[in-house]
């Protein structure tokens, strides 16, 4: 893209000028199935972190979750679509498609940016029908992993490929996720931009805080292995219990905690009792990132994971990490550099890695320190939004105003514009 010179600092304060026309902003609609969890948090930071003088952002998706209020408080227009859910329901899905089409036609968005499988399919169909100039899709991971039943893989893969040609630009949360999208024929070669999945680094302790164990009722003298995330199939919570049982047999006195909630919570409790291992389940916690900073080892045994926001947060706090080598995780966790890896479902290998870190505290600390440097160097909201601005600008043939933040004379935009917005209905 041809460089375009940046203007200097403002010469005359705005309040001293005669009335000036408002800048013509780029109007962006994010469409996401679940506006919660990892992809939801990523989308929230994408919507709130873009320069409000350059972009007007909207979010549409399933009702429910705490992020809608945060988005509205940050000045984002929101549309909670009745009947929109993860479950395939032809009648409800046709209604959601119609609502998205009407919204796109009425508001005349310049960019429709979709996330997740169902949101990506319905959002791209609606944008195509409404004549939206630019359509972008982000791969946060993949809706169906290789272990899923063949019919489900064929269905979801076929739907994604059907709307591939409706998409002008693709983003992925890590290089390996980008590569996998091309290998799965979900995006053409050379079309996927890597846009790091940001976390709110300012809210994450920069070092371990053992005193937080008091909140969990765990002695400071005990070694603590923990995880953070939704207790569902993807996160393999029963594998966490199995690893905990294996570690407890080798290192008695080790304590285990799971921060989060989900549909498999009862199964975890039952399995832990049967295995004879004590696993503390805290439920959903708004201070999850702070609690994770007191873990001696952070374990993430996921079966599939685009990158894992909880993983990035754990690294940002300097935690030694053991993770499964799935999807984009090895981009962040490199064996012997920023953590340790094991194959998914391999309980013995995961337990061996955990025990190794517990037995080698100096090396574990060094791994945590290097992981922290990596997480804090490239996963801020600003880092992500600079890359998004570059992607949108390329597709719209606009200058990339923030390609070099150090040379930009303007102060960075606040990630939370001060004027709240009301919810919008279709």
> Model's pTM, two decimal places?
0.86
CB 25, CB 55: distance < 8 Å: yes
Instruction: Tell me what pLDDT residue 2 has.
Output: 53
Asked if residue 385 and residue 251 are part of one domain, the reply reads no
**Structurally, how many domains does the chain consist of?**
2
- Percentage of the chain lying above the pLDDT 70 cut: 90
Instruction: Tell me what pLDDT residue 66 has.
Output: 85
Please check whether residue 118 lies inside any domain of the structure: yes
Please check whether residue 11 lies inside any domain of the structure: no
Q: What is the three-class DSSP state of 340?
A: strand
Specify whether the backbone of 54 is left (phi greater than 0), alpha (psi in -120 to 50) or beta: alpha
> 321-326 — which CB contacts under 8 Å span 24+ positions?
321/297, 321/367, 321/368, 321/371, 322/297, 322/298, 322/350, 322/353, 322/354, 322/357, 323/299, 324/236, 324/300, 324/350, 326/145, 326/302
pLDDT tens digits, one per residue of 85-113: 888 888 999 999 999 999 999 999 999 99
Q: Whole-angstrom Cα distance, residue 103 to residue 109?
A: 9
Q: Whole-angstrom Cα distance, residue 56 to residue 22?
A: 12
Please check whether residue 415 lies inside any domain of the structure: no
Asked if residue 187 and residue 63 are part of one domain, the reply reads yes
Q: Whole-angstrom Cα distance, residue 98 to residue 426?
A: 10
Closest CA to 136 of 91, 181, 177, 167: 167
Which residues lie closer than 8 Å to 260 by C-beta, 6 or more apart?
227, 228, 229, 230, 231, 235, 282, 283, 284, 285, 288
Please check whether residue 75 lies inside any domain of the structure: yes
Asked if residue 261 and residue 297 are part of one domain, the reply reads yes
Please check whether residue 425 lies inside any domain of the structure: no
Asked if residue 369 and residue 389 are part of one domain, the reply reads no
Asked if residue 250 and residue 193 are part of one domain, the reply reads no
Domain harbouring 56, CATH code: 3.40.50.2000
Asked if residue 38 and residue 116 are part of one domain, the reply reads yes
Instruction: Tell me what pLDDT residue 237 has.
Output: 97
Please check whether residue 275 lies inside any domain of the structure: yes
Q: Which two tokens stand for residue 274?
A: 């049967």
Domain that holds residue 115: 25-198+380-407
Instruction: Tell me what pLDDT residue 389 has.
Output: 95
The predicted model gives 334-346 an average pLDDT of 96
Asked if residue 230 and residue 301 are part of one domain, the reply reads yes
Residue 174 reports pLDDT greater than 90: yes
Please check whether residue 270 lies inside any domain of the structure: yes
């Amino acid at each position: 893209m041809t460089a375009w010179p940046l203007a200097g600092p403002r010469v005359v304060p705005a309040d001293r000028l005669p009335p000036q026309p408002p800048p013509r902003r780029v109007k962006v609609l994010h469409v996401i199935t679940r506006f919660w969890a990892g992809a939801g948090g990523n989308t929230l930071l994408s919507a709130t972190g873009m320069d409000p003088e350059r972009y007007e952002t909207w979010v549409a998706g399933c009702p429910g979750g705490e992020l809608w209020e945060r988005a509205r408080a940050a000045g984002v227009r929101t549309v909670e679509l009745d009947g929109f859910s993860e479950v395939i329901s032809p009648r409800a899905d046709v209604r959601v498609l119609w609502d998205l089409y009407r919204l796109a036609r009425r508001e005349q968005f310049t960019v429709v940016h979709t996330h997740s499988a169902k949101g990506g399919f319905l959002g791209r169909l609606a944008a195509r029908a409404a004549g939206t100039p630019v359509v972008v899709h982000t791969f946060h991971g993949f809706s169906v992993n290789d272990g899923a039943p063949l019919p489900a893989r064929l269905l979801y893969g076929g739907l994604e490929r059907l709307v591939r040609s409706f998409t002008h630009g693709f983003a992925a949360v890590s290089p390996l996720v980008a590569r996998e999208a091309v290998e799965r024929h979900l995006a053409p070669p050379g079309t996927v931009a890597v846009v790091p999945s940001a976390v709110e680094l300012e809210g994450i302790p920069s070092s371990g805080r053992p005193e937080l164990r008091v909140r969990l009722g765990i002695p400071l003298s005990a070694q603590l292995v923990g995880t953070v995330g939704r207790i569902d199939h993807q996160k393999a919570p029963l594998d966490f219990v199995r690893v905990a049982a294996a570690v407890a047999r080798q290192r008695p006195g080790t304590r285990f905690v799971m921060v989060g909630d989900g549909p498999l919570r009862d199964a975890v409790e039952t399995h832990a009792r049967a295995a004879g291992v004590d696993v503390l389940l805290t439920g959903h916690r708004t201070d999850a990132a702070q609690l994770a900073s007191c873990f001696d080892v952070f374990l993430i045994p996921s079966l599939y994971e685009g990158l894992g926001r909880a993983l990035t947060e754990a690294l940002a706090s300097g935690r030694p990490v053991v993770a499964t080598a799935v999807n984009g995780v090895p981009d962040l966790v490199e064996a012997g550099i920023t953590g340790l890896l094991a194959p998914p479902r391999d309980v013995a290998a995961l337990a061996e890695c955990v025990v190794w870190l517990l037995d080698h505290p100096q090396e574990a600390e060094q791994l945590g320190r290097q992981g922290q440097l990596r997480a804090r160097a490239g996963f801020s909201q600003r880092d992500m939004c600079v890359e998004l601005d570059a992607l949108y600008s390329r597709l719209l043939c606009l200058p990339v105003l923030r390609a070099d933040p150090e040379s930009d004379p303007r102060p960075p935009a606040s990630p939370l514009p001060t004027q709240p917005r009301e919810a919008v209905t279709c």
